Amino acid sequence: METATVSITLVPLNNKNYLQFDFTGHLTEAAAIRAIEHWKMELEKLNSKDTKIDLIYNCVTMTGFDTNARRAWQDAMHALQSRTNEIWIISDNIFILGAAKTMGLLTRFTIKAAKSIKDIKP
């Protein structure tokens, strides 16, 4: 099983800035924790505790995730809720989309789905 990598970059799209997460492979708890720390560092670069950012979870090349990785991610989403506007998930994998919808319900986020980044609409 290929361990996931998660790259996080600030990208402009549709006249907005998004923090884009590109997931590759199978997300383990350790990879999720490293990505969450990177996520927090990126938020610190925005220089304001009141600044909210839109997120893109690009899961097109994600093959799956561990339960503990999902829990860690869900906890981070809840903890960083005050810094987050909308969340987009990019995937055509029904399992990943279902998990994202469940995380949205548990964290009270509306997670919008698209099959590609070009389908994201403001």
Query: What's the order of all strands across the beta sheet hosting 5-13?
Result: 5-13, 16-27, 53-65, 84-90, 111-114
| Domain interval for residue 28 | 5-119
Question: Which pTM was predicted?
Answer: 0.89
Report the pLDDT value the prediction gives residue 1, as an integer from 0 to 100.
54
Predicted confidence at residue 47, as pLDDT, reads 67
**CATH code for the domain of 100:** 3.30.750.24
Return the closest-CA partner of residue 83 out of 45, 52, 38. 52
Q: Does residue 2 surpass a pLDDT of 80?
A: no
Q: Is the pLDDT of residue 56 over 70?
A: yes
CA distance 86 to 14: 14
User: In the chain, pLDDT over 70 holds for what percent of residues?
Assistant: 95
The per-residue pLDDT for 100 is 83
Average pLDDT over residues 23-52: 89
Gap between the Cα atoms of 103 and 66, Å rounded: 14
Torsion of CA 7, 113, 15, 47, to 10 degrees: -50
Task: Check the CA dihedral 70-76-77-79 and report its sign.
Answer: positive
* pLDDT tier for residue 108 given thresholds of 50, 70 and 90: confident
The stretch 59-68 carries a mean pLDDT of 92
Most confident listed range (17-21, 45-49, 108-112): 17-21
- Which two three-digit tokens encode residue 120? 């994201």
Per-residue pLDDT tens digits for 81-95? 889 999 999 999 888
Sign of the four-CA dihedral 12, 115, 64, 1? negative
Q: How far apart are CA 105 and CA 92, in angstroms?
A: 20
Number of domains in the chain: 1
